[in-house]
Chain A
Amino acid sequence: MRRISIGVTTGALVLGVSLAAMTSAVMAQSVTLTLGSWRTEDLAVWQDQVLPAFEATHPDINVEFAPINTNEYNAAIQSQIEGGTGPDLITCRPFDVNNEWIGRGYFSELDGLAGMANFTDTAKAAWTFEGHTYCVPVAAVLAGFYYNVDIFNELGLTPPTTTAEFIAVLQAIQDSGKYTPLAMGSADSWQLAYNGLYSVGPAYWKGEEGRLGLIDGTKKLTDPEFVEAFKAFAAWRPFLPPGQEALAYPDMTQLFTLGRAAILPDGSWNIKQVTSTGLNVGVFGPPAVEAGGQRYLQEMPDMAIGINAASPNQEAARTFLDWVAGPEFQQIYVNTAPGFFAMSNQAVTYDNALAQNFADLKTGASLTPRLALDRLSAGTPPLDDEIWRLLQLMMTTDTTAEQATQELQAGLESWYGPQKGN
C-alpha cells in the first residue's frame, strides 16, 4: 500500500515538475504582472473571469492575482515595498492610508493614462494627492436599507422616505409584535458607523457640505447638524432586537435572512448573503429629513489599482490599468462581484436585480463617502475608530449624542490642524 502511494506521489511530482517547466517556457516570452489585493474572496472572480478576458486581447501580458489576508494587507504591502519585493500592481485603500502610501513614494503617477478620462474628479478623489492621481478606481460600495417585501406587504407598509415615516414604519413593525423592526446589533462597532450613522447622518449634515466642513475646519462635530444626526441614529435603539449589545454582524444578517426582522441596515457588499435564502428583498435609501427634502446616499470608494513605482514592468502595468479603466472590465467586475459598483462615467448594467435597485438609488440622491475616512483619521486618535467606539457606547450605555460628539470633537482637535484653532 505504502509502495503504491509512493509511486503515485512520485509520478504526480514528475508530472507537476514537467508541467511547471512547460508553462514557464511559454511564459518566458511574456511579461508577468502580480496584482496584490486584500480581496481573498475574489480569487475566482479574477482568475476565472476578469484576467482571462484581459489576456484574450493581450496575449503578451500575464497577470497573476496575489491576494493577502485583509487584516494583514496594509502591513504586508508596506513591508514588501520597503523591502523591494512588492507586487507590480497594488490595490489601493481609499483616502488616508493611500495618501500616506503616495507620500512615501509607493506609486507611479497616472495622470497621463488615457483611461483616466472615464472618471470624474469626485470618483478619483480618494486616490488623488496634491493634484495627481495614482490609482485607477475599480469599485465603490453603497449602503442603505434592505427590507423584507413580504413583511412589508403583510403589515401594509411602504418604504419610508422621511425620518418621521421611517420611525413610524419601525413603530408599526414593533406594534405588530411578530417581527423585530431592525436587524442590528452593537457588537461589531464598525457597522454602527458604516451601516447606521453614515447612512442616516448625511441628511442632517448635508453630505459633502458637512464632511468637507469638518475637513477644512469650518464645522465642528458639536454643531447642531452633527448632534442631530447622532440623535437620529440613537432613535433606532428601541427598535433593535433584545440582547443587541452582544449581537455581531453575522447575527444581524441571519436574523434578517431567516425572516425574523423586517429591515436590515447594511452595505451593498452583503447582497449575496442577504438574498441567499431566497427571501423577497427590496432596498430603500436613507430617508430625507423632511418631505421633499434632499436625499443623500453613502457611496464609498472602496478599491482602486495603482502601479508600484519600483516595478520593472511599468509599460505593461499601464496597459493593464488602461483596460481596467475601460467599460469591458467594469462590466465584468461588477457583475461577477455583485454589490460593487462601477465608478466610471460609462454606462454599466447590473445583472443582479437587487444590485440594479441599489444603483437606481443613486438617481436624484446626493452622494457622499463615509464621514471620517478622508484626512480626519490620519492621526491619533483616528476619528473613524473613535466614532465606532462612541456609537457603541451610545447604543449600549447611557452616553448621549451630546456627550459623544463632544468627546469626538475633543479627540479631533487634539491633533487635526484645521480644527485646532477653533
Chain B
Amino acid sequence: MTRPATARWSLLLFVLPALAIYVMFAVAPLVSSVVMSFFNADRTLGSVFVGFENYIYLFTEPVVSARFWNALVNNIKYFAIHVLVEVPIGLLMAALLTSGALRRSEGVYRTILFIPATLSVVIVGFIWRLIINPLWGVVGFPLLGNQMTALPTISLMGVWQYVGIPMIFLYSALLAVPNDLVEASRLDGASPWRTFWDIKFPLIVPQFGLIVILTFIWTFNGFDLVFALNGSAPGPNYSTDILGTYFYRTFFGSSGQVADLDLGATVATVIFTIMLLVTALYFWLVQRRLRAHTV
C-alpha cells in the first residue's frame, strides 16, 4: 500500500499529460487573446498597452458598435431557432426511438438521423444552397437573398445537420430510465403520453437542461455554416452576421481591409465573456436546482 502523499503525486502525474495539452492549446491561447485585447499594435512604435481603449472603441464607435449589436441580436435569434426547433425535435426522436414502437429498426433510424451531424458543414452548405437555389433547386423564392428569411433559413440548415446530437444525448438519458417505473405506470393505466411527460421526462430534466446550454455554447461559437454559405460579410445587409463572422471579419480583415488583430481579440474576449456569464448563471441558478427524482 502506498502512502497518501505518494498517491497524490502519482495522481498529479496521471493528470499532467492531459493538463499540459489543455493548457497549451486551450488556456494559453485564451489568456493571450485576452491580453492582446488590451494592446494596440497599429502603431509604428510596435505594440502598446492601451487599457480598455479597444473595448471603448468597440462599444462607442457608431458603425463598429452597431454591427456588433446587430451580430449579437442575430446570434440570439440563431440560438432561439436552434433551441425551439432542434431540441424539441431531438427530444421527439429520442422518445420515439425509446418507445419500442420501432422494434428492430431502431438502430437503423438512430444511424440515419445521426448521419448529417457527421458531414462537413461545407458539404451541408453546398447541398442546401443547391436545393434552395432559385435557378437549379426546388424553391423559387430567394430564401437566402431576403433579409427576413436568410437567417432562419441558415438556422434551419444547422438544425437539420445537428438534430442528431440532442437526439443521441436525450436517447441515452431515456435509456437509463428504469424499466420497472415505466412498467408500473403502464400497469396503473397511464397512456404513453402521460408516461412520457410524468415519468420519463422528469427523470431526464438535468440532461435536457444541459443540452439547452450546450446548444447555447455551440450557437454562440457558431461560424462555419454562415461562413460557408455567405462569406465573412454575411448579407443581405448583414442580416446573417453572427458573432463568429463578425470576429472573423475584424480579426482577419479582407482583401481591401487591414486585419485588426487587437480589435479582433477584443471581440473574441467579449464573446467569451458573454458565454462565460450566461453559462455560469445557468449552472448557478438553474442546473443546481434541476435534479432527477430519486428513485
A residues lining the B interface (CB < 8 Å): 38, 70-72, 74-75, 78-79, 82, 93, 95-97, 100-101, 103-105, 185-189, 241-248, 251, 255, 373, 377-378, 380-382, 384-385, 388-389, 392-393, 396-397, 411, 414
Known contacts A74-B254, A75-B261; is A105 also within 8 Å of B44 by CB? Answer: yes
**Is B61 interfacial (CB 8 A cutoff)?**
yes
Counting chain B CB atoms within 10 Å of each CB, which of A78, A100, A242, A243 scores highest? Answer: A243
**Are B63 and A189 in touch, CB under 8 angstroms?**
no
Q: Shortest CB–CB separation between residue B154 and chain A, in angstroms? A: 12
Q: Shortest CB–CB separation between residue A85 and chain B, in angstroms? A: 15
Q: Which residue of B lies closest to A243 (CB)?
A: B134
Chain A residues, CB < 8 A from B135 = 241-243, 247, 251, 255
**Are B142 and A244 in touch, CB under 8 angstroms?**
yes
Chain A at the B interface: SS class: helix
Known contacts A78-B261, A246-B143; is A389 also within 8 Å of B231 by CB? Answer: no
Chain A residues, CB < 8 A from B145 = 185-187, 243-247, 396
Chain A residues, CB < 8 A from B270 = none
**Are B237 and A82 in touch, CB under 8 angstroms?**
no
Chain B residues, CB < 8 A from A414 = 62-63
C-alpha gap A378/B259 in the complex (Å): 11
Interface CB pairs A-B, < 8 A, 25: A71-B254, A72-B252, A74-B252, A74-B253, A75-B253, A75-B259, A78-B259, A96-B258, A97-B255, A97-B258, A104-B44, A185-B145, A189-B235, A243-B141, A243-B142, A243-B145, A244-B142, A245-B142, A245-B236, A246-B133, A246-B145, A251-B135, A251-B136, A380-B64, A384-B256
C-alpha gap A244/B236 in the complex (Å): 12
**Are B257 and A382 in touch, CB under 8 angstroms?**
yes
Instruction: Tell me which of B62, B136, B251 contacts A75 (CB under 8 A).
Output: B251
Contact string, B206-221, partner A, CB cutoff 8 A, digits 1/0? 0000000000000000
Considering only residues 108-166 of chain B, those with a C-beta below 8 Å from chain A are: 129, 132-136, 140-147
**Are B257 and A189 in touch, CB under 8 angstroms?**
no
Chain B residues, CB < 8 A from A72 = 252
Considering only residues 201-251 of chain B, those with a C-beta below 8 Å from chain A are: 230-233, 235-238, 251
Q: Which residue of A lies closest to B130 (CB)?
A: A251
What is the size, in residues, of chain B's interface with A at 8 Å between Cβ atoms? 42
**Are A247 and B134 in touch, CB under 8 angstroms?**
yes
C-alpha gap A378/B42 in the complex (Å): 13
Query: Besides A74-B255, A185-B145, A378-B258, 10 other CB < 8 A contacts?
Result: A38-B255, A70-B255, A72-B252, A79-B261, A104-B44, A245-B144, A245-B146, A251-B136, A377-B256, A414-B63
Instruction: Tell me which of B44, B63, B143 contacts A381 (CB under 8 A).
Output: B63
Q: Shortest CB–CB separation between residue A88 and chain B, in angstroms? A: 21
Q: Which residue of A lies closest to B232 (CB)?
A: A71
Chain A residues, CB < 8 A from B133 = 243, 246-247, 251
Chain A residues, CB < 8 A from B142 = 243-247, 396
Chain A residues, CB < 8 A from B147 = 397
**Is B41 interfacial (CB 8 A cutoff)?**
yes
Chain B residues, CB < 8 A from A246 = 132-134, 142-146
C-alpha gap A414/B62 in the complex (Å): 10
**Are B257 and A97 in touch, CB under 8 angstroms?**
yes
**Are A82 and B140 in touch, CB under 8 angstroms?**
no
Instruction: Tell me which of B41, B61, B62, B264 contacts A82 (CB under 8 A).
Output: B41
Q: Which residue of A lies closest to B47 (CB)?
A: A82
Known contacts A245-B142, A246-B144; is A100 also within 8 Å of B235 by CB? Answer: no
C-alpha gap A255/B143 in the complex (Å): 19
Q: Which residue of B lies closest to A302 (CB)?
A: B255
**Are A392 and B256 in touch, CB under 8 angstroms?**
no
Contact string, B4-44, partner A, CB cutoff 8 A, digits 1/0? 00000000000000000000000000000000000001101
Q: Shortest CB–CB separation between residue A53 and chain B, in angstroms? A: 28
Q: Shortest CB–CB separation between residue A401 and chain B, in angstroms? A: 17
Q: Shortest CB–CB separation between residue B42 and chain A, in angstroms? A: 8
Q: Which residue of A lies closest to B257 (CB)?
A: A382
C-alpha gap A93/B261 in the complex (Å): 18
**Are B134 and A71 in touch, CB under 8 angstroms?**
no
Chain A residues, CB < 8 A from B254 = 71, 74, 385
Instruction: Tell me which of A79, A243, A380 contacts B140 (CB under 8 A).
Output: A243
Chain B residues, CB < 8 A from A242 = 134-135, 140
**Are B258 and A74 in touch, CB under 8 angstroms?**
yes
C-alpha gap A247/B130 in the complex (Å): 10
Q: Which residue of A lies closest to B258 (CB)?
A: A100
Q: Shortest CB–CB separation between residue A389 and chain B, in angstroms? A: 6
**Are B237 and A248 in touch, CB under 8 angstroms?**
no
Q: Shortest CB–CB separation between residue B257 and chain A, in angstroms? A: 6
**Are A389 and B129 in touch, CB under 8 angstroms?**
no
**Are B261 and A392 in touch, CB under 8 angstroms?**
no
